[in-house]
Amino acid sequence: MDKNNIKIYLSTDHAGFDLCHFVVDSLKNDGYDIEYLGPDVINTEDDYPLFIKKTADQVSANTDSMGIVFGGSGTGEAIVANKTKGVRCALYYGRAHAVGAVDAEGNESHSPYEIVKLARLHNDANMLSIGARFVSKDEAVEVIKLFLETEFENKERHVRRISEIE
């Protein structure tokens, strides 16, 4: 996607707070249009669904936008996001977990980021949830940029399947 034509919404829970702020600064420095939706301070008792829902609602309402959310594992955040109409949130929890992975044909995966790329290519995912406890700052920025820059293939079978999900 052209970073000049897309708004990126971000939010986090307490476990992803530092990583999220690092990513916000990095993406802003690279020219992305960023809106951070909270929280403003770390609170280990926060109710992350409230912050994640803000991002999911913005992505749902603005078709020319994407969302990035952060949590300890990223799982709860992805679940929250995916309950919002029109949101397709993929989960990424680190390249270390992709070691030895195989594709559908049984071939060893050549890229630990393949799951993120396929989420865009085949599923037109418009949000990405990051497991902050499992990725470094540099890895997070790298995988998020891949997510943002990968275009949906728009093949008939993928469009049909997304329609069936909706």
Instruction: Respond yes or no: is residue 158 known to be catalytic.
Output: no
Helix (H) or strand (E) holding 67: strand 65-71
DSSP characters over 21-37: HHHHHHHHHTT-EEEE-
Instruction: Give CA–CA dist 45/149, Å, rounded.
Output: 34
Question: Which DSSP state fits 97?
Answer: G
User: Does the active-site annotation cover 122?
Assistant: yes
Q: What is the DSSP letter of 14?
A: G
Q: Which of 122, 142, 153, 158 is catalytic?
A: 122
6 DSSP 8-state letter: -
The residues, ordered by sequence, that sit 6+ positions from 75 with a Cβ below 8 Å of its Cβ are: 91, 93, 129, 131
Q: What residues are annotated to the active site? A: 77, 122
